[in-house]
Structure 1
Amino acid sequence: MKMESSDKVKYVLWFAQEHVNFRAADIESVASIFNIEVNYHTEISDVPYCIVELPSEKEAHLLASRCISLRSVLELWGHGKTNEELHNSIQQTPKDRMYPHFVSEKSFRLTVETFCKSLSMKEKVERIESFSYLPIEGNVNLKDPDVTFYLLEYFGQDSNNIPEQPYELFFGRWVADGQRSLIQKLSLKTRHFLGNTSMDAQLSLLMANQAKIVPGSLVYDPFVGSGSLLVSAAQFGGYVSGADIDFLMIHGKSRPVRPNQKVREKGESIKSNMQQYNLSSKYVGVLVADFARPLWRPDVRFDAILTDRKFFKIPQNEL
């Protein structure tokens, strides 16, 4: 992780507070996929933010287009440990970065978001009014603004000892949201075919990122089960296949796992999951096989072997 300091444009990576240990790998894997140079001004840790420098806004959009751990990316205009420091920092930000977004032709919204503390509406309005010195000319649009400004306040992580004032404050322009919506889209709650050990959508997506699945990748899961990893890999464009020793699971004949479900519905299978998410074109197929007895010829090569035990990225010089 490269740590640098410069006067170039910085961004705030604002994370969801889930699977914290996967954050760094998620960012670094996606950066590798798109060949993005990320210069870190703060380390990725258990706090929900990280300040980075990116070559341009294009790279910010690329990161957000794949990262599962990211809630959003902001172009950083101000940062401080107190309100005074924050506003002084904003006033030192080059005007040519901010002023194009203040014009009358662009509607706006200013959102206040906190971590580990809830604010009343009155407190939020007071914070919003503290930015009245900014020469914003556009109309307020709370539903679909052209530009969204964010004030982020971090109050630590101890919900039993919340300070009166935040430890860190950030102000900036929203650039992009991460891919958190995929977690809901691929949720096991609505998955057609499930098994006892079906991996949840968020972990499956994170693993697919770490395996650097890209459109056209040939992916194999030797312990495929109900195919959760195949679904996530296919979501990112991989052509997916797998094997499992469990004949009943592979053929959708195992005992149902949903409460009060006595028999499987007709057609339940890994293939039906692919159909559910319109990913049938990415589904190569699955086999009944024992991993201890290799079934592939030595010259067969996959771009990635992705399992719930470990994953492998095949070096390019071995393909």
Structure 2
Amino acid sequence: MTELNFRRHRRLRGSANIRSMVRETSVQKEDFIYPIFVVEGENVKEEISSMPGVFHFSLDRLGEELDEVVSLGIPSVILFGVPNEKDAVGSQAYHDHGITQEAIRFAKDRHPDLVVIADTCLCQYTDHGHCGVIENGVILNDESLDLLARTAVSQAKAGADIIAPSNMMDGFVAAIRYGLDQAGFENTPIMSYGVKYSSAYYGPFREAAHSTPQFGDRKTYQMDPANRLEALREAGSDIEEGADFMIVKPALSYLDIIREVRDNFDVPIVAYNVSGEYAMVKAAALNGWVDEKQIVLETLLSMKRAGADILMTYHAKDAARWLEEK
């Protein structure tokens, strides 16, 4: 046989241990943030129909979910409160005894070392379902900032370790950073949803958070899915205003954006593996069309490989169990 000159890449794939030795990217349970939906009422543990395995919990049932999260070694949760009462300015969002504030207190009392992140927005608290103040059908930017800052401060007072504003109003990080600092919470980090696209992948979440807009859409404040450079402008301004983490949302269809943000900024990057991404995998798995474990772990790995440091995902509990099996 004529001598050939070529690289034998397969040498580094010859056994499981060799593959493990040269593996460039890994997913571990310490990467996870697990989202939890908390509702008012008693003895509520109600599965969200479009998100199998994800539930609404009332405060008196929240402990069992938190205990499971902690037992699995997941270090962090993000809390989404769903109030019974809504109004035009989302006043329950910044009420000191609102559902999110009470959930934060409960979580920190039960598990002091658990990192509790507060989603900071108005949409699930307003009767119109938008993320800011409305006047003549227009979402007002600057008038919304004070309410967002008040919400962040009330959440920090309740014990939130991290504030995660998701509203996409211009200047929201600056307003929240100023509000926190003035209230004595200068050491509370901000995890900004700074790169948040107007996406069809949010559908199941809107059922879970009861936050579907009652008119129009969110395209005037959430980003156009066609735009890449806009993500760098949004991330850059939020970091200048004081963001400590940067969330890219959604994750799976925006892996290129995660990489762009990673290559341009040095803050920790959070990939939000959103409800629609979760629901598609769950539906396919329940029909026996895919191997759920392999699909989920590969999907999460793709987000880490793209440059994410942290994974916010509804798959966190399942993934933590599967990683223990390895």
TM-score bracket, shorter-length normalisation: under 0.3
Q: Tell me: higher relative CO, structure 1 or 2? Use CA pairs within 8 A at least 6 residues apart.
A: 2
Structure with the higher fraction of residues in helix conformation:
2
Q: Which has the larger radius of gyration?
A: 1
Structure with the higher fraction of residues in strand conformation:
1
TM-score (ref. length: structure 1): 0.27
